[in-house]
Structure 1
Amino acid sequence: MNNSMNNALALAGRILIAWLFIPAGFGKIAGFSGSVGYAAAMGMPLPEIGVAVGLLIELVGGIFLLIGLKTRSAAMVLAFFTLVATLIFHAYWSVPADQAMMQQLLFNKNIAVVGGLLAFAAWGAGGWSVDANRRRI
């Protein structure tokens, strides 16, 4: 595949994955107390701190991924965050049978997102990114 196509696909991938994190971060700001309540109900220790850290990771990491700034590091942080959040919030093996299918679907979707993030951690943002422009300077 030619370089322009690779760069376009990398940009599209960054946009689509960032689309998952940035609105989620803003949603946690708008509904902070609800997010804290949900986190507490799921057994998260120190839910206020956990939600605050989560929203910062989602916003900052999502924006960095979107623009291609420190992409490899942002992708690694987002991948780790997503993996931990998935294990806490989508533990399909420990929910009632009528909830297991939906939680397993969400678990598997998040694991696929982790895979996409690890690809960005391995290969970088592509040529249409802040990282690439900084290397040229």
Structure 2
Amino acid sequence: MFVFTPTPGTTWNLTVDNFTQALHRREGDEAYIHTHADAEGSYGPRDEHDWWFAFSATGESWAGTGSPAAGDHEGVALDEATAGAAAEFAAWVLRELVPPGAGMEYNTRVGMESGLPDEVLTENTVTELDAVFRKHLKASSS
């Protein structure tokens, strides 16, 4: 899992509405957003403010989660993604959701489990981000 959050002291003012609008611009009618748990609570976001989504990258669809600025942890995550898919997603988030003056940090589940700190992204192209993510994955598996 790749996790993307605002840099400390900044916000993206992320809401499910602005995320949904951006995703619809990218995915069109194929955009998938799921905002509520089912009646049994077995399927859907656990937090009432969070949402699930699907994101197309590298020719595949990837599942993710989002949390708004109003929640406990603003940001988005892409589950079980490759470095290439995460790079495409991060470039899209930077372009569509991160306002001027704000930044983005990232980490991965394996990075967090290995004790690696969140890192500020200074790159913004898919190629540059892919290289950063591959390096991170290599470092976290060492």
TM tier, smaller = 0.3 to 0.5
Question: TM-score by structure 2 length?
Answer: 0.35
Question: TM-score by structure 1 length?
Answer: 0.36
> Larger C-alpha radius of gyration, 1 or 2?
1
| Greater strand fraction, Structure 1 or Structure 2 | 2
